[in-house]
Amino acid sequence: MPQISVDYSPSLDGSFDRRALGLAINRLAVETIAAKPEGCKTIFRRNEPEIVVGESERPEAQVFVQFAIFPGRSPEAKTALTEGVLALLAEHVAPAPGERLHLAVDVRDMDREVYRNTAIEG
């Protein structure tokens, strides 16, 4: 644990190293919320829909990172995680020329009693 999802706009496809960013996010989770390295699972999903912000006509892009974690972490640890992820995103991802990039992070507690996870090797 945690389950980490990174949704990103199509215009960012190929503009950043997903593996490097995923490894950095996983390390940050270990450092800030005491996650076990082998429990950090980060998935990247390219979002096909175009993002529209307010009434803006300019090109917009977004990276939205969601953490699903077991309860018990302090608000301070969660804040350190979100701020650290925002810093990593700013370091790893840049918008295309003329495009505005929105970065967001959310951390949610999962229900430990019902969550299940397994791995199958081939």
Three-state DSSP at 38 gives helix
pLDDT of residue 58: 79
Nearest one of 44, 50, 54 to 92, comparing CA atoms: 44
Domain extents in the chain: 7-60+69-109
DSSP output for 56-120: --S-EEEEEEEEEE-S---HHHHHHHHHHHHHHHHHH--PPTT-EEEEEEEEEE--TTT------
Query: What number of other Cβ atoms are within 10 A of residue 2's Cβ?
Result: 24
Segment 24-51, tens digit of pLDDT: 999 999 999 999 999 999 999 998 867 7
* Homologous superfamily in CATH for domain 7-60+69-109: Macrophage Migration Inhibitory Factor (3.30.429.10)
Segment 64-121, tens digit of pLDDT: 999 999 999 999 999 999 999 999 999 999 998 989 999 999 999 999 999 888 889 9
